[in-house]
Amino acid sequence: MKNNKNILKFTKISGNINSKEITLMEVIKMKKYIINLIPFGIAAICLVAFNMIGSEILSDGTLVEPFYLIPIAWMFFFMGIVGLGIRGIISYKTKLLKKL
């Protein structure tokens, strides 16, 4: 058992009750990565919405489709990549500083 002030005890309730000690820093790290994954979810929602709405051709021959959802999805996808890249660089630098 660790003697650390930043330890929180979480209980997992299934058939039996087990206690697992997780440090506060581990909880914060998990939340940071979840926040960086949100843009990927929004991009997926945009693409699903584009496919569900569909497109149609009017009687005068014009195409009506929600084309704006495609660039928005790509924008959120690249935002997610940049966010994860920045988070990875910050995590790498933090690990290097802890070793020193």
**The two structure tokens encoding residue 20:** 């697992």
pTM assigned to the model? 0.66
pLDDT tens per residue across span 1-32: 445 554 455 444 444 445 456 676 676 667 77
**The two structure tokens encoding residue 31:** 């939340």
Give the whole-angstrom CA distance, residue 26 versus residue 83.
Answer: 19
**The two structure tokens encoding residue 5:** 């002030």
Residues 15-26 as b/e (b if ≥16 CB within 10 A, e otherwise) read eeeeeeeeeeee
The C-alpha angle with vertex 21 and arms to 19 and 27, in degrees rounded to 5, equals: 120
- Range name among 4-18, 55-69, 72-86 with the lowest pLDDT average: 4-18
